[in-house]
Amino acid sequence: MIMTAENKEWMAHALYLGQDNMHLFGEKCWEWIAEFGTGVFYKAYMRFGGSTLGLGAYTDDDALKATITYAEQKIEDCFAEIERRFNLEDDAQ
């Protein structure tokens, strides 16, 4: 994984959540991630064609679903990169 500015922001979300907290991905978690209009979540939402009524007011359900799917994949990719870089893979396999 190349550490672009976008990937670094997703990595920060991954580190904040930790894999043990991935089950917390619900509305409250997405509210936290989407809280800042300049963040990667908002940028991805706009890239998927989303529209807003103002900062944090997401009005396009299809774009929001696509953004959440994209965000979950980016965060999973970050977890995989953390495991790879720190050699955290399970050796029992």
- Per domain, the residue ranges of the chain are 5-85
Task: Please list the residues that pair with 58 across neighbouring strands.
Answer: 52
Three-state secondary structure call for residue 4:
coil
The amino acid occupying position 84 is R
What is the rounded distance in angstroms from the CA atom of residue 23 to the CA atom of residue 47? 26
Q: How many residues does the chain have?
A: 93
- Once rounded to an integer, what is the mean pLDDT over residues 34-54? 79
Give yes or no for a contact between 45 and 64, defined as CB atoms under 8 angstroms apart. Answer: yes
Structure tokens of 45? 């939402």
Asked if the model's pLDDT at residue 17 lies above 80, the reply is no
What is the rounded distance in angstroms from the CA atom of residue 10 to the CA atom of residue 47? 16
pLDDT score at 70? 92
Q: What is the pTM of this model?
A: 0.72
